[in-house]
Structures are given as structure tokens and as C-alpha cells.
Amino acid sequence: MHDGPTSDPRVLVAAANLRDLGGLTTTEGLRVRTGLLFRAGYLCDLDGPDRDALDSLGIRTILDLRRPTEVAARPHPEMDGVEIVQASVSSDDNEFAVLANAMLDPDSEPLGPDHIAAYFRGNVTDRLDRYRPVFETATDPGRYPLLFNCTAGKDRTGFACALIHHALGVPAQTVLEDYLLTNEAIDYEGYVLPVLAPRLESGPLPDQETIMSLAGVRPEYLRAAFETIETEFEGVERYIEDAIGLDAGKRERLRERLLD
């Protein structure tokens, strides 16, 4: 566990892992504009100053990466003028939930972080068709300010945001550091563990490493995805253009809108 929410200005509401994707510097020395792209987990429990912070962003589009059952369990709060685009990137059996259940089941075969890394490799190869519409929406400047979200705002959202940063020219190490910011920002006890609580309450508690491998993020998770991109698609540039459909024109429009 960490000691508390980070003071990093990109973290806007730790209670929902709500963060601005801006503020990072590209390899060309340009800066990703703030106030246009955001990422978060579920938003339905926000109230008081946290809800005010969300409302102050002027979000026009929420790109929801969750499965319909997840949306039903934690629906979006009422937000005037916001279009919610449902773009589930998980297959119907929700591989991550199946994996989490197995890792938390004391009677199952022992599983660990390497199995989550395998899930990230699957994002690249097995769920590509589900991610293409995400980037079609995310690269439409008419939808900004836009917010990506999933349940915890760290895995599906983290992968999508890492690709956006790569497409903008943010260095790989900076992309990884931004991905890992979840570990400093998120309120595990109040935010992530309640999602896992039904599983945790169903039997003996697993070890702390198992809990944190599910509740947090690790370098090897994102690296697994990008290593697969390198081997299967001959690099991230080819993947961005050929696999997820950000051709030179779309990418240039994205850069014009989001870079200073």
C-alpha cells in the first residue's frame, strides 16, 4: 500500500483515479495539452468536492471501456451535456475477472502477476477489433474534452492511454511512468478493494502480493503488451497505423489538437 494520494497535478480526483493525460513532453520537445483528455475509473460514487472537480472539466464525451454488466453495476452519474460512448474492450466472459477470481480462490491453481501480463499480451492480439473503435472515437477532436474510463481506470484504460501517448510521440519511459502513476494516486482501500471485496469476502484472504497484483499496476504488465506489439507487428509505429487505424492523417490531426 502507498501512504496516500500523490500531489502530482495530473491526479485530479484520487477517489476515482481521475487524471489528466496532458502535461507530458514528447521526444520533439512539444507538450501534451491539459484539459482535453482524461482517464478514470468508475464515477458513480463521487460526491461533494470530488464531484465538483469532475463537473468542472467540461467533459463532452465519456468513452466507457467496460462490459455492460459492469456499467449496470456502477452506472455513470447524471452529467448534463455528456455523451457516453459504450465501447467494451472485454470479451463476454471478462478475462480479467475470471483471472481475478482464480487468483483469489484458495482452491485453484496458484496464479501470479505473470498471468496478468498474459492478459495484457491478449489486448494486443485477441482484442484488437474491440480497441479499433475506441481510437476512432478518441481521435475525433469534436468529442473533446474526452474521458476514458473502465472500472478501476488502470488496465483497459491504462493500455488505451499508453497508446495515445505513444501516438503523440511521448517517450516510452515517460509513458511507462505515467502508467505507473496509478500506484501512487489511487485509493486502494476505498476505491479498488470494494470492487474486489465480494471475492475477498467469499473465502480466506490471499497474500498481500496477490491482492496488490490485482489492485495495482506493474511495469511488466504494460511491457508485456508492447513486447507483443514489437514481435507481432514489427513495432509500435506499425501497430498504431496498421492495427488500430491511426493513419498519418488522423495522427497529424491528433497531434495538432493535443500538442503545444
The pLDDT tens digits for 145-175 are 999 999 889 889 999 999 999 999 999 999 9
**Separation CA 128–CA 182 (nearest Å):** 24
**Separation CA 111–CA 88 (nearest Å):** 26
**Separation CA 179–CA 182 (nearest Å):** 7
Residue 6 lies in a domain: no
How many CA atoms within 13 Å lie on the side-chain side of 35? 3
Bigger pLDDT: 204 vs 195:
195
Provide the CA 168 distance to its chain's centre, in angstroms: 17
Q: What residue numbers bound the domain in which 104 lies?
A: 11-258
Sign of the Cα pseudo-torsion (93, 94, 97, 103, in order): positive
Q: What's the length of the chain?
A: 260
User: What is the three-class DSSP state of 105?
Assistant: coil
Residue 5 lies in a domain: no
Provide the CA 221 distance to its chain's centre, in angstroms: 12
Kind of pairing between the strands at 61-64 and 83-86: parallel
Q: If we measure between CA atoms, which residue out of 244, 215, 237, 226 comes closest to residue 120?
A: 226
Radius of gyration for the chain, computed over Cα atoms and rounded to the nearest angstrom = 18
C-alpha cell at position 86: 459504450
* pLDDT of the residue at 219: 93
Q: Cα-flanking dihedrals φ and ψ of residue 239, to 5°?
A: -60, -45
Q: What is the pLDDT of residues 215-239, one digit of tens each?
A: 778 899 899 999 999 999 999 999 9
Tell me the whole-structure pTM to 2 decimals.
0.86
Residue 224 lies in a domain: yes
Lowest mean pLDDT among 71-85, 87-101, 130-144: 87-101
Sign of the Cα pseudo-torsion (106, 109, 114, 116, in order): negative
Measure the CA dihedral 117/120/121/125, to 10°: 160
Q: Which amino acid is at 40?
A: A
Residue 67 lies in a domain: yes
Indicate the number of domains in the chain.
Answer: 1
Tell me, what CATH number does 87's domain have? 3.90.190.10
Residue 220 lies in a domain: yes
**Separation CA 15–CA 178 (nearest Å):** 18
Residue 198 lies in a domain: yes
Residue 145 lies in a domain: yes
Residue 182 lies in a domain: yes
* pLDDT of the residue at 2: 41
